[in-house]
Amino acid sequence: MLENNSYFPQDKTNRVESYETDIYSGSPGFASDDTLALTGYEESSSGFSVFPVEVLSGEELLASLKPMAWVINGLIPRGSLTILFGSSKTGKTHAGLHLCACIAAGRKWLDFNLFQGNTLYIDEEGSIPEMANKYRQTTKGLSRNEIPGMFFMIRNQIDMTDSNLVNAIINQIWSHQISFVVFDALIDISGGANENNAHEMYPIMYNLKRIAVETNAAVVVIHHAGKNGSQRGSTVIESHADLVLKVDLNKAESKLTFKTDKARFFADKKFAAYLEFEEDSFQLVTSKSDGNSSSVKLSKSKNAVLKYLADHGPTFKQDIISSFVVAKTYAGGTITNAIGELQKDGFLTRADVGGKREEATIALADNGIVHAQEHGWLTNEDE
């Protein structure tokens, strides 16, 4: 499970209560009008009340600095709000589901490393049977029968202007230890608000951002593009988002292109993926393939590494090397080279998201799983 190491404030309520206590410990009856304005007091028939405002010193502000906590390394951090938009039928839902599945399963998503965690898909567009079918396609695309850690809310009539519903969603995210949430789609959770009206959209976007900050989960909202291909609706939508990703579909090639329209935490990015549907399975891949990895001839040392990981699961790289050296079957350099080449060819992936000085955990990637299944080293149940 992910560690709670986000830089976002985690306990606003306690900080506000502390602020109120500090204020009330003074003598507001003797304060000037200017002082009241600065401290957040307002006068009413029942006396003075307190706004939940807060003043931080520079020292307190610097003390809050922490390293960026990523869910998808280099793309989506915890506590952030992302808008994923595109035209109708461009694969937005499939992309969102595949992303949730990879995070829950601890699998690399395209070329992005990620932190494993529980995910929640909130679907207000489809039905339970439709989502069940898409979930089955997605899990089979990852060679799984099911993926523990994936949760769903379907057709709950979510209205983001309703503070009670927002509180209920926050409680569900906390109770299920969710690190990644997808809302599908913005128009369906807006309670009939006019997307082009800033006044009507502000509370909706505020509450979506509130969910991200208070739960420390990464929140992704699927949205639709207008007729001209740009993001639909008021500028309030984009202004609340930390990341805005546009997705376009080349139907002839089944190719999705993702491009940042706004990125708060990094320079603009552009990357692509291919939609692969086979019988009742679906997956997103970085390049087209014929799905027949058995046509690739691998050396004995590479096959030995793949079989080892099929038997043992994700393993520290040095432990893999040591096991062959101790058994005197292969030299350490031979296994090191085999691991490097298998990673380059998409048979292996790094299961953790560490730095160069941190010990790597190696696991089977998509090609490696298929190869292991074809050789009888791994079954769907094993994987």
pLDDT in tens, the chain (383 residues): 334 444 333 444 433 333 232 333 333 333 344 433 444 444 555 555 556 788 999 999 999 888 889 999 999 999 999 999 999 999 999 999 999 999 999 988 998 999 999 999 999 998 999 999 999 999 988 888 889 999 999 999 999 999 999 999 999 999 999 999 999 999 999 999 999 999 999 999 999 999 999 999 999 999 999 988 899 999 999 999 999 999 999 998 899 999 999 999 988 999 999 998 887 889 898 876 544 444 456 888 898 999 999 999 999 999 999 999 998 888 999 999 999 989 888 889 988 766 666 788 999 988 888 888 777 787 544 44
> What's the pLDDT score for residue 2?
39
Residues in Cβ contact with 56 at an 8 Å cutoff, skipping those fewer than 6 apart? 64
CATH of domain 293-374: 1.10.10.10
Give the C-alpha separation, 85 to 229, whole Å: 9
The one-letter code for the residue type at 277 is: F
Helices (H) and strands (E) in the chain, counts: 12, 16
Q: Find the angle CA(107)-CA(113)-CA(115) to the nearest 5 degrees.
A: 70
Give the C-alpha separation, 187 to 222, whole Å: 9
Closest CA to 301 of 281, 270, 331, 280: 331
- What separation in angstroms does the CA of 203 have from each of 43, 60, 208, 310? 26, 29, 9, 49
> What's the pLDDT score for residue 51?
61
Q: Global pTM?
A: 0.66
CATH architecture entry for 70-285: 3-Layer(aba) Sandwich (3.40)
Where do the structural domains in the chain lie, given as residue ranges?
12-63, 70-285, 293-374
Give the C-alpha separation, 301 to 324, whole Å: 10
Contact 212, 80 (CB under 8 A): yes
Q: Do domains 70-285 and 293-374 have the same CATH topology?
A: no
C-alpha dihedral sign at 219, 156, 195, 210: negative
Other Cβ atoms less than 10 A from the Cβ of 56: the count is 11
Residue listed under structure tokens 């708060």: 264
Give the C-alpha separation, 88 to 101, whole Å: 22
Contact 213, 9 (CB under 8 A): yes
Outline where DSSP puts E strands in the chain. Answer: 41-44, 47-50, 70-72, 76-77, 81-86, 118-123, 150-154, 178-184, 218-224, 243-250, 255-263, 270-278, 281-285, 315-316, 348-350, 361-364
Give the C-alpha separation, 335 to 224, whole Å: 48
> H or E element: which one contains 371?
helix 366-374
Residue listed under structure tokens 């699927």: 222
